[in-house]
Amino acid sequence: MSYWRNKHFIYQINTWVWLDELSRQFQRPITLDNVPDDILDAIAKPGIDMVWLMGIWQRGEQVRANALKYKHEYQRVLPDLTSEDVVGSAYAIADYRVDDRLGGRAGLAALRERLRQRGVRLMLDFVPNHVGTDHEWTKYPEFVINGTSAQKRERPDVFFKSRRYDGKEWVIAHGRDPYFPGWSDTVQLNAFNPKVRRAMAETLLDIASQCDGVRCDMAMLVLNHIFANTWGDCEIGERPELDYWEEIIPQVRAQHPAFMFIAEVYWNKEFDILQQGFDYAYDKTLYDRIVRGDIEQIRLHLLADIHYQKRLIRFIENHDEPRAFSALGHKKSIPAATLICTLPGAVLLHDGQFVGRKAKLPVQIRRQPQEKLYPELEKYYERLLWETLDATYENGQFYLFQVNPTGPEDQSCKNLIAYGWRDLTTRRYRLIVVNLSNAHAFGRVNLGFWGELSRQKRWRLYDVTDDEEYVRHGGDLTNEGIFIYLEPYESHVFRFQPDIELQPLPVQAAEA
């Protein structure tokens, strides 16, 4: 097996939409088992080491019928939408079985092997909180949240009538989080019930035999205290001694030690979820601060413990958020991409992000609109991905630098975020400076923390973003600092190259 980096770059694909687009492009049915080689080669870009195929599990007719009620909403994104374009929500799963229309289990296995040959692993979805209304588990009282007629009258957005395994009518609950109405195409699972936990562990073991990791949807909803607060007014049974993930993850890891767990998590529960066995957690805090343009809060966020930061997933779009090109705009999306790709932690990139797609697709449809694409943006991403292949970003030491004003009257330095990586073993350095604001910014970044730079008379600083090169004296870099001027929404990614061969560093410098 190929060597897998610790700094992962995950590429999310909406599977139905992707295969539909390919079928149109090649004018023949494309499923998981016959994706053309050049398409997989293009996905396996430098740096991409995992593909997340979203929405491959079986969707039922009840869920699709529910989705058809909302065709008018989907037409805002896809004006020529037809009923055939509506397949039901990817997160209202009828069965954890690869949909035969996509290529089935065998097709997925074949695709996984072809990705593996290209050095790319496979990630799939897991939804712990709920299932679709078509799922077999929804017929059994011990699996779902049971309600009463009174609750249905009082909260029709949460409770609804259904039929049990014996045909009798009863009241059960839609899946939900505590701040919103229920999701009308789902049924809430009882995360406290031992049978549910056993069934979910068995499901995850089967999933783990088909891929290399899972992205767990709304992973915090099944934490004991959150589940109890959400459903405490229902008969949910005794609170388990162990949290959901503390019980289930070790069972999977016992058989699949390298299997990766990624948590979609909010409400400042990132640290808690990581303590329960997850490898990575969404960094929604960084995303929100980038969108708001709150540069000081971004800087404070990057002061967090480095071991914690390395377990966060940075992103500027995914299927739940607006497209980066839409939310941030063309210009701002570029330094934002630079930021997430060069910070500690994993990176989540979304199909269409590289070419500036703007349409945020509902997860219930299988086709995307035709849009203007921006190939020059893709070239920038490819340049960025090539840069982050350098081992300095994985093995180096991260440091957040102070940006000082260039004069008493200029406070534009507050718009700059500067940080760097150094690997003393290989004597490699990277300095990244981004301007996420719509104004010019000046500043001076003092590199005194990298004191050994002063032992080299001159350094060449090559900017990966635009191929420009600058020469600076080592003493100036660590004393006065490097002068930075960035236009609105510009960034620097500097590689440091000595003018002459460096002598080995003294022991005390190497240990600094």
Encode burial over 100-111: b for 16+ CB neighbours within 10 A, e otherwise.
eebbbbebbbbb
Positive or negative torsion for Cα 347, 440, 299, 318: negative
How many other β-carbons are positioned within 10 Å of the β-carbon of residue 204? 22
Q: Which two tokens stand for residue 238?
A: 């005794």
Of 307, 313, 226, which is closest to residue 11 (Cα–Cα)?
313
Distant-in-sequence, close-in-space partners of 98: CB < 8 Å, separation ≥ 6: 32, 56, 57, 58, 104, 105, 107, 108, 210
Q: Which two tokens stand for residue 305?
A: 């413990």
Can you tell me the distance from the alpha carbon of 139 to that of 167, in angstroms, rounded to the nearest whole number?
A: 9
What distance lies between CA 238 and its chain's CA centroid? 34
In this chain, the answer to whether the domains covering 9-128+191-392 and 396-510 adopt an identical fold is no
pLDDT of residue 383: 95
- Quick one: DSSP state of residue 188? E
Can you tell me the distance from the alpha carbon of 283 to that of 88, in angstroms, rounded to the nearest whole number?
A: 28
- At the second CATH level, the architecture of 396-510 is Sandwich (2.60)
Domain borders along the chain are 9-128+191-392, 396-510
- Please give the radius of gyration of the chain, using alpha carbons only, rounded to the nearest integer: 25
Contact predicate 197/249, CB 8 Å: no
- Quick one: DSSP state of residue 357? -
Encode the chain (512 residues) as per-residue pLDDT tens digits.
334 567 899 999 999 999 999 999 999 999 999 999 999 999 998 899 999 999 999 999 999 999 999 999 999 999 999 999 999 999 999 999 999 999 999 999 999 999 999 999 999 999 999 999 999 999 999 999 999 999 999 999 999 999 999 999 999 999 999 999 999 999 999 999 999 999 999 999 999 999 999 999 999 999 999 999 999 999 999 999 999 999 999 999 999 999 999 999 999 999 999 999 999 999 999 999 999 999 999 999 999 999 999 999 999 999 999 999 999 999 999 999 999 999 999 999 999 999 999 999 999 999 999 999 999 999 999 999 999 999 999 999 999 999 999 988 889 999 999 999 999 999 999 999 999 999 999 999 999 999 999 998 999 999 999 999 999 999 999 999 999 999 999 999 999 999 865 444 454 443 33
One-letter-per-residue 3-state SS of 391-422: CHHHHCEEEEECEECCCCCCCHHHHEEEEEEE
| Distances in whole angstroms, Cα of residue 57 to Cα of each of 70, 104, 185, 219, 319 | 21, 9, 15, 18, 17
Phi, psi of 323 (to 5 degrees): -60, 140
With DSSP H G I counted as helix, E B as strand and the rest as coil, what are the percentages for the chain, rounded to 5? 35, 20, 40
Contact predicate 156/97, CB 8 Å: no
pLDDT of residue 501: 52
One-letter-per-residue 3-state SS of 32-71: CCCCCHHHHHHHCCCCCCEEEEECCEECCHHHHHHHHCCH
Q: Indicate the angle between helix axes 194-208 and 244-255, nearest 10 degrees.
A: 30
pTM: 0.94
Can you tell me the distance from the alpha carbon of 134 to that of 63, in angstroms, rounded to the nearest whole number?
A: 7
What does CATH list as the number for 9-128+191-392? 3.20.20.80
Contact predicate 205/115, CB 8 Å: no
How many other β-carbons are positioned within 10 Å of the β-carbon of residue 412? 18
Can you tell me the distance from the alpha carbon of 413 to that of 443, in angstroms, rounded to the nearest whole number?
A: 5
